[in-house]
């Protein structure tokens, strides 16, 4: 079974704090993703990484950065948290193109509240 683990399920942070969301996958997948989920908007891609130290901006990268120093770990960083970043954050991973029908596997999500 593919396992994508997000270190924190529920976080409460103050405006202006630096926030780290950590994600680890155990299937040696090349691709990792961070999505944000908001009611009525579905999932929106924040950042994507296709290899160690490689990243691409998704649809809503503003206010976020990412780090991928090891293949299994992908971190999302909020440099200065704001209340409009209160949301559910989902990490996901997938193997390199073509090897399993492009299925993306998700973690259980991290609920972030910024006060």
Partner 1 sequence: AQSVTQLDSQVPVFEEAPVELRCNYSSSVSVYLFWYVQYPNQGLQLLLKYLSGSTLVKGINGFEAEFNKSQTSFHLRKPSVHISDTAEYFCAVSDMDSSYKLIFGSGTRLLVRP
The mark string for 35-74 relative to partner 1 (x by CB under 8 A, - otherwise) is x----xxxxxx--x-x-------x----------------
| Part in contact with partner 1 (CB under 8 A); list of ranges 11-19, 70-78, 79-87, 88-96 | 88-96
CB of 101 to partner 1, least distance (A): 5
Pick the closest to residue 74 from 52, 96, 102 (CA basis): 52
Q: How far apart are the first and last CA of the chain?
A: 37
Which residue has 């909020």 as its token pair? 78
Q: What single DSSP character describes residue 60?
A: -
Element (H or E) spanning 41, and its range? Answer: none
Pick the closest to residue 80 from 59, 56, 64 (CA basis): 64
CB of 115 to partner 1, least distance (A): 21
Which residues sit at the interface with partner 1, rule CB under 8 A?
4, 31, 35, 40-45, 48, 50, 58, 90, 92, 94, 97-98, 101-109
């Amino acid at each position: 079974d593919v396992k994508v683990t997000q270190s924190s399920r529920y976080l409460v942070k103050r405006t202006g704090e630096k926030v780290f969301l950590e994600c680890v996958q155990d299937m040696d997948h090349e691709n990792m993703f961070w999505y944000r989920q908001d009611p009525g908007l579905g999932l929106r891609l924040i950042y994507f990484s296709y290899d160690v130290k490689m990243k691409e901006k998704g649809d809503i990268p503003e206010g976020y950065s990412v780090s991928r120093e090891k293949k299994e770990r992908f971190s999302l960083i909020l440099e200065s948290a704001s209340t409009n970043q209160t949301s559910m954050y989902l990490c996901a991973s997938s193997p390199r193109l073509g090897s399993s029908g492009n299925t993306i596997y998700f973690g259980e999500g991290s609920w972030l509240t910024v006060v």
